Amino acid sequence: MKQLLAVLLFMLLPQQSYKVEVYDYDGLEPLINQKDEKVHVVNFWATWCGPCVKELPYFEKINDEYKDENVEVLLVSLDFPSKYDSALKPFIKKNNIKSKVVALNDTNQNRWISAIDENWSGALPATIIYKGDKRMFYEKSFTQEELETELKQFLK
């Protein structure tokens, strides 16, 4: 009887919901072009992208270890909108992602891919690191050491 009550109570209590802000490119653009004194690390990824998932802990480590050095990490999911509830939000919860996660939902890829970087093929993962007018774009996956090396160029 106690188990049945526990199950019923669990089902009735609201489950923690992960809200993911969804933007088209016009909404995302200010988030990836901020003019402040922070170093911004923006990673484009998806739950279905193996190399993306493999490197996410490196971005999480950067977010945690460099937050006191004015570094901000933004994870931009390119998951399909139909997968936000079934894949993206459970992934964030399961992996205890602490960095800010937003989703890009804009079907005009010809516009936003080249707007993010004129040489970007659209392949994932991709990362922007910038501070002020200094900006680097990487269409590759990182090791922890490579990511920190690139980040440190912006911390000097």
* β-strand pairing of 39-45 with 126-131: antiparallel
**Confidence (pTM):** 0.88
Measured between alpha carbons, how far is residue 149 from residues 28, 129, 140, 141, 144 in Å?
26, 12, 14, 14, 9
For the chain, give every domain's residue range: 16-155
Provide the residue-wise pLDDT of the chain in tens; the chain has 156 residues. Answer: 545 444 444 444 444 456 899 999 999 999 999 999 999 999 999 999 999 999 999 999 999 999 999 999 999 999 999 999 999 999 999 999 999 999 999 999 999 999 999 999 999 999 999 999 999 999 999 999 999 999 999 997
Query: What is the fold, at CATH topology level, of the domain defined by 16-155?
Result: Glutaredoxin (3.40.30)
